[in-house]
Structure 1
């Protein structure tokens, strides 16, 4: 362990670590780069003025920041190495829960999220979970800092759970589109239509109920995407609504793909296709530290490159 590391284990070093978390999001240009007064930082950290001054000096010596005093205007932050600040802060790795990466679109989304967080100086990792409810449960239990859902599922769950919307990445960032799947030889008006529904998916269940829920003769069969091919192939299901990202080229010739009808409002389709980032309402210290410097355009632009085949997924 070098001398600087040892100094970060002292009282001044502990204050420097806490100060690191406060400085990660601070701009380094213009009036916004002016640091709070030492006494204000001391009050926020619950330490003395001298401790704050020593903590700032430690951060400068470590290469984490560079400041310039401009007389009565105050002290300005002119350079900040977010990666060093993050390491010193001890905030750890930001962990996100995402759907299983079964589609190029999800691989692109994972690639974009990882790049955006790492550019902001935050170590980032992904855990993949099937079902919006499972991802929200992990979020509420504090097992992850961030969860990725469709905007539709996020809106539904925010009404019932203490979670907040961090960002809506826009149409076609979660799925491209949904389609109506019909086994060949079966008509939509067939009596006793057997319809597959995924109980783990807020989106799929809602769309299927919209498309077929007005009929009393429908038989609902619970299924996941993994089982869907076998159910169609062995004549155990007749129809469903599903994400085309999942099914195209994967269900064989026995299934016909039809467009969804007017029973699916345009707003619902848009919210089902948009990726939403959500967090606990009480917040995650790690997520709060990085959110101000997160470039969401990086996420969508890299996702688009993966979808066009111009970038290899890396997550």
Structure 2
């Protein structure tokens, strides 16, 4: 270990690491809090804060300038160095399996946006919004990507907060009612595929077929849907069209969803949302204000148009 690293293991160095976290929330050419305000927040003396600021300057993490009675201003900051010195580690996001180009574009955009904000970022892929949220609550991941529909329901039950809503068609393109070739929608005893691991699909399917007491529910995932239709074990379902168009390998009628409530649910289900824990998410708080979410939607659109190769 070189002498520079050893200095960050001293009392002043520990304060510098704490300051690095705080300074991640400051943009260049903005006035910094007073030294005594930093000292009060960190629970140390003014001299320790001044020494910590000097350490950060010597490390190339920041450059400051004093402007008389106006105070001290942050001239420049290197967010990559600040993040490394802060010890916040890598932000880990849980996303759905990247089986569609839309999800690949979403992952590509998220990775770029976080990297531009100076935060090391990684993605783990998990099926089911409930499973991803459990990982979040257990502290195994820092944020979760899911539909706005699922986010709204989970926020009612758990101490999680909405960090972003990326807007319609960022999570899925659309949902439709799928009817197996030869099946009749009004036939008694209609067998409807449902995936209880997917909060969105389950809710949409139940709402689309509400009022029918003759429905036979057939447990299914996307991977099983083709075989269930081909073997005539299922007749219909409501599903994400990104998953099924051109992939079922068989003739399927795609019908529009019915009532206004179902269409509203489908619209909220099409929007990608990002949620995080309400408490203890220091790394996420450090990057949140500098995260440019327009990068996410822009790069996702490029991937969808075939203008950019997915990279995540």
Distance 1:95 1:210 in 2: 34
Distance 1:205 1:162 in 2: 23
Q: Does the CA-based 8 Å contact 2:207-2:262 persist in structure 1?
A: no
Distance 2:280 2:231 in 1: 47
1:255 Cα offset (Å):
2.1
Q: Does the CA-based 8 Å contact 2:174-2:270 persist in structure 1?
A: yes
Q: Does the CA-based 8 Å contact 1:151-1:271 persist in structure 2?
A: yes
Q: Does the CA-based 8 Å contact 2:166-2:271 persist in structure 1?
A: yes
1:265 Cα offset (Å):
4.0
1:266 Cα offset (Å):
3.7
Aligned to 1:111: 108
Equivalences for residues 148-163 of structure 1 within 5 A: 148-163=145-160
Q: Does the CA-based 8 Å contact 2:102-2:171 persist in structure 1?
A: yes
Q: Which residues of structure 2 form unaligned runs of 5+?
A: none
1:270 Cα offset (Å):
1.5
- Which of 100, 104, 118 matches 1:121? 118
Alignment size in residue pairs: 312
1:176 Cα offset (Å):
0.1
- Which of 113, 138, 143 matches 1:141? 138
1:249 and 2:246 aligned: yes
1:262 Cα offset (Å):
2.6
1:193 and 2:190 aligned: yes
SS at match of 2:157: coil
What TM-score, normalized by structure 1, do the two folds share? 0.97
Aligned to 1:22: 22
- Which of 261, 266, 270 matches 1:269? 266
Q: Which residues of structure 1 form unaligned runs of 5+?
A: none
1:264 Cα offset (Å):
4.4
Aligned to 1:78: 75
Q: CA RMSD in A?
A: 1.0
1:234 Cα offset (Å):
1.1
